[in-house]
Structure 1
Amino acid sequence: MSSLYCIEAVLILDQKGNRVYANYFAPPHVQDGEESLAGSLKRQREFELEFARRTAKSEGDLQMFSGSLVRFKRFTDVVVVVVGHASANEVLVDVVFEGIAGALELLLDSGGVDMRVVQDKFDLVCLLVDEAVDNGIVLETDPATIAARVTRPPTTDPQVSLDLDKGLLGAWGFAKSKLQERLQQGR
């Protein structure tokens, strides 16, 4: 496996192993005898459910699981998971995870990372993961940089200030000048 494509998946699962967010990456060159998680929906679901079952009591860790290197952390009612290839550098998988989890905490600042907030700000979650990992290639690991690259929607509606006096006076002046031109042409 090429070391450039080191991330297999970024997942956010609920406590039972059901998907809240899942992004699997397929490396362009799969070696003989090696199966990618991205290739089969059935295999993905089995991986997610087995992961939830085996790690139900763990808070978070970096471990080998089902032939992959997995780093995860439990938040209120969701689990954030970064899955790396078995041959990937453990430190890199951990740093990618810390970047994504830290950026999630920065962006979803309304009391922490939980199911409701992730669903409400799903567009930001998608952009955040896309800024950190692209097709299995690590792009950014700094949480502040990842969060800064994700545009935040305006918190309030922008105030459009129309100066009605100027608009009405401008229209009155325009109409007055046109009327004067017509009257002068009529003489």
Structure 2
Amino acid sequence: MYSMLPEPSLYTVKAVLILDNEGDRLYAKYYDDTYPSVKEQKAFEKNIFKKTHQMHSEIDLLEDLTVVYKSNIDLYFYVIGSSHENELMLMAVLNCLFDSLSQMLRNNVEKRALLEHMESLFLTVDAIVDGGVILESDPQQVVNRVALSKDDVPLSEVTAFALQSATEQLRWALLR
């Protein structure tokens, strides 16, 4: 009996997904090679959406995976682990993700707001899960960590500055 149990592992999360109300991907991060190609990932996402979008439970087994999910307005949040994974751990990750985004977006967790704040989403997921290992499950700690990360110069400003600098250098080179 005990030989059938898998070895304990810190690699708890296999994927974090956010789909819109039509089942299209807004965000997906896979932490292992269960679905190595984008085609396989999208097929899995369509399958998971088809099975869960009309159900009112929060936990499901699909393709030998444990899936915990939550829907809000026009978004579906999924955290996926192996079939042997503790559902409460996966649910803690899901709740942390949703509550962190809810705090950052001022309770406006919907598709448009999420698309406008994608950098916060990326930082949030990275603060909660790293390589499939759960790092944090307290939303306030995640929000604080993301706020500190966002104090760095945003990539868009760095890119705009670099573009402006390159344009000025080109202009000076043409004038010489």
TM > 0.5 fold call? yes
Q: Determine if the alignment matches structure 1 residue 80 to structure 2 residue 77.
A: yes
Determine which of 36, 43, 47 is the counterpart of 2:40: 43
Which residue does 1:24 correspond to in 2? 30
Query: Could you tell me whether the CA contact under 8 Å between 1:12 and 1:81 is conserved in 2?
Result: yes
Q: Distance in 2 between matches of 1:81 and 1:140?
A: 17
More helix by share: 2
Structure 1 residue 59 displacement after superposition: 4.2
Structure 1 residue 67 displacement after superposition: 1.3
Distance 1:13 1:103, change over 3 A: same
- Structure having the higher Rg: 1
Q: Distance in 1 between matches of 2:11 and 2:21?
A: 28
Which residue does 2:55 correspond to in 1? 58
- Give ranges in structure 2 of 5+ residues lacking alignment: 1-5, 152-176
SS in 2 for 1:84: strand
Alpha-carbon displacement from aligned partner over 1:130-155 (angstroms, at most 9, x marks no partner): 0000010000001111111102758x
Which residue does 2:129 correspond to in 1? 133
Q: Which runs of 4 or more aligned residues in structure 1 lie more than 4 Å from their structure 2 counterparts after TM superposition? A: none
Distance 1:58 1:133, change over 3 A: same
Which residue does 2:97 correspond to in 1? 100
Q: Distance in 1 between matches of 2:95 and 2:51?
A: 22
Query: Could you tell me whether the CA contact under 8 Å between 1:60 and 1:74 is conserved in 2?
Result: no
Q: What residue identity is the alignment partner of 2:129? A: V
SS in 2 for 1:7: coil
Query: Could you tell me whether the CA contact under 8 Å between 1:3 and 1:88 is conserved in 2?
Result: no
TM-score by length of 1: 0.72
Q: Determine if the alignment matches structure 1 residue 9 to structure 2 residue 15.
A: yes
Distance 1:59 1:108, change over 3 A: farther
SS in 1 for 2:120: helix
SS in 1 for 2:18: strand
Structure 1 residue 41 displacement after superposition: 1.6
Question: What is the count of residue pairs matched by the alignment?
Answer: 144
